[in-house]
């Protein structure tokens, strides 16, 4: 069955529907488009058009215009709405206009850093320009670190590396701090509580060092939909923010289903294990080749579900690697391989902890089980 047939089969199943407490259907919505800004370096629209991007979504155009006016911005639109272009476009434009310009990208997880740097690298390769973008984190080989400090136009890192490796060694990063034009903080909704206040203090150290070296960077923040994005971004950075929250991206029809596991002991009010119910739903999706992501609370749950689903798809010719687990503790090469398999469509299902949750480009996925 395809996804539509599967949805209809579930709707028609009394055994399934008696446990559904809410089924919300969000209608499809067309894209709202805008032309590329006139002042942008012509090489950028040319390469984007060659890759099938003929125009921008309205929120992307608003974001780029605001950044080019010199404003600090926070962009709040849903997953797979093209937030990456909101910062890649002005950053690439600035570096193409002035090869000394530098940008610092902050992501909360290594998976997200790798995903976004790959996208940026592909864009730079397609333009065939001498812009150097590097990931600088715990997986970066020692031999590569010196050249990144000297030559990196775009340094992609995370708050821990910024705090422990970049800011204390600022004398080795003079080129970056003297020419720092943009600081991109993605997934700012992840920085809450103690983690958020720690990052806010790190950002203040970053601003002081940048001022010491003579630069005053612009901040470009991105977030999932939360109630107070402007307030969060302003507290995080200490700068007045322009809010961009009118999503221009298209959206397919979406079903949001809340499912309560059935009661197995009425006297004690005990319900069936949510892990078993998740396994049953994920099995149904995997059997029908619906590309799926399953989020579990713990590493143990990830391993249990992954093993079961691998058994489900295994055949004498292999194929078990169409189901993958994803959690902290995997080697960098394994993580990159899984992310690539998701993007290419070879991986049918991935069972993950929130190590994969933040911002991976999963617009192609058809189903998500939480």
Q: Which residue has the higher pLDDT, 44 or 79?
A: 44
State the helix-helix crossing angle for 229-237 and 193-212, rounded to 10 degrees.
Answer: 50
So what's the pLDDT on residue 207? 98
So what's the pLDDT on residue 316? 64
Give the up-direction half-sphere exposure of residue 30: CA atoms within 13 A in the CB hemisphere.
2
Cα–Cα distance, 88 to 106 (Å, whole number):
13
Q: What would the pLDDT profile of 136-190 be if each residue is shown by its tens digit? A: 988 888 888 888 998 899 999 999 999 999 999 999 999 999 999 999 999 899 8
Average pLDDT over residues 85-91: 95
% of the chain at pLDDT higher than 70: 96
Task: Check if the beta carbon of residue 347 is closer than 8 Å to that of residue 341.
Answer: yes
- Band of residue 340 on the pLDDT scale cut at 50, 70, 90: confident
Q: What share of the chain is helix, strand, coil (3-state, %, to 5)?
A: 45, 20, 35
Would you mind telling me the total number of residues written for the chain in this entry?
370
325 bridge partner residues = 351
In the numeric block, the tokens 């612009």 are attached to 218
Q: What would the pLDDT profile of 181-230 be if each residue is shown by its tens digit? A: 999 999 899 898 999 999 999 999 999 999 999 999 999 999 988 899 99
So what's the pLDDT on residue 140? 85
Cα–Cα distance, 216 to 352 (Å, whole number):
39
Q: Which residue has the higher pLDDT, 282 or 81?
A: 282
Q: What would the pLDDT profile of 352-362 be if each residue is shown by its tens digit? A: 987 765 545 56
Cα–Cα distance, 335 to 65 (Å, whole number):
36
106 bridge partner residues = 157, 185
List the alpha helices (DSSP H) in 108-224: 110-127, 142-151, 159-161, 174-178, 193-212
- Band of residue 281 on the pLDDT scale cut at 50, 70, 90: very high
Cα–Cα distance, 263 to 242 (Å, whole number):
49
Cα–Cα distance, 340 to 344 (Å, whole number):
6
Q: ∠ at Cα 253 (251, 258), nearest 5°? A: 115
Cα–Cα distance, 365 to 151 (Å, whole number):
36
Task: Check if the beta carbon of residue 153 is closer than 8 Å to that of residue 101.
Answer: yes
DSSP state of 36: P
Residue 351 is inside which H or E element, if any? strand 349-352
262 bridge partner residues = none
Cα–Cα distance, 85 to 91 (Å, whole number):
10
- Long-range CB contacts for residues 339-347, cutoff 8 Å, separation at least 24: 339/111, 339/114, 339/115, 342/291, 345/291, 346/322, 347/291, 347/321, 347/322, 347/323
Q: Comparing 17-26, 100-109, 298-307, 347-356, which segment has the lowest mean pLDDT?
A: 347-356
Mean pLDDT, the chain, whole residue set? 90
So what's the pLDDT on residue 143? 84
């Amino acid at each position: 069955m395809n996804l539509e047939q599967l949805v209809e089969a579930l709707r028609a199943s009394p055994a399934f529907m008696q446990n559904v407490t809410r089924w919300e259907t969000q209608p499809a919505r067309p894209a709202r488009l805008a032309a590329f800004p006139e002042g942008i370096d012509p090489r950028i629209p040319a390469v984007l058009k060659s890759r099938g991007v003929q125009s921008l979504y309205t929120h992307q155009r608003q974001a780029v215009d605001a950044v080019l006016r010199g404003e600090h911005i926070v962009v709040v639109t849903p997953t797979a709405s093209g937030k990456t272009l909101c910062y890649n476009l002005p950053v690439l434009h600035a570096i193409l206009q002035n090869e000394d310009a530098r940008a610092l990208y902050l992501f909360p997880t290594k998976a997200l850093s790798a995903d976004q740097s790959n996208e940026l690298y592909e864009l730079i390769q397609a333009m065939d320009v001498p812009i150097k973008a590097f990931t600088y984190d715990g997986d970066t080989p020692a031999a590569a670190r010196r050249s990144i400090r000297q030559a990196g136009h775009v340094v992609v890192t995370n708050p821990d590396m910024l705090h422990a490796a970049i800011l204390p060694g600022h004398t080795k990063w003079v080129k970056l701090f003297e020419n720092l034009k943009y600081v991109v903080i993605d997934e700012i909704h992840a920085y809450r509580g103690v983690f958020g206040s720690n990052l806010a203090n790190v950002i203040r150290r970053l601003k002081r060092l940048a001022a010491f070296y003579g630069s005053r960077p612009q901040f470009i923040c991105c977030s999932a939909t939360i109630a107070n994005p402007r307030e969060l971004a302003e507290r995080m950075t200490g700068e007045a923010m322009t809010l961009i929250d009118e999503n221009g991206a298209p959206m397919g029809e979406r079903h949001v289903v809340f499912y309560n596991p059935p009661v197995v002991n009425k006297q004690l009010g005990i319900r069936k294990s949510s892990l078993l119910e998740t396994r049953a739903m994920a099995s149904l999706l995997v059997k029908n080749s619906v590309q799926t992501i399953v989020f579990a609370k713990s590493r143990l749950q990830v391993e249990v579900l992954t093993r079961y689903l691998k058994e489900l798809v295994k055949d004498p010719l292999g194929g078990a690697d169409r189901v993958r687990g994803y959690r902290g503790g995997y080697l960098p090469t394994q993580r990159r391989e899984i992310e690539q398999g998701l993007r290419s469509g070879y991986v049918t299902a991935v069972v993950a902890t929130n190590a994969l949750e933040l911002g991976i480009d999963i617009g192609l996925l058809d189903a998500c089980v939480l």
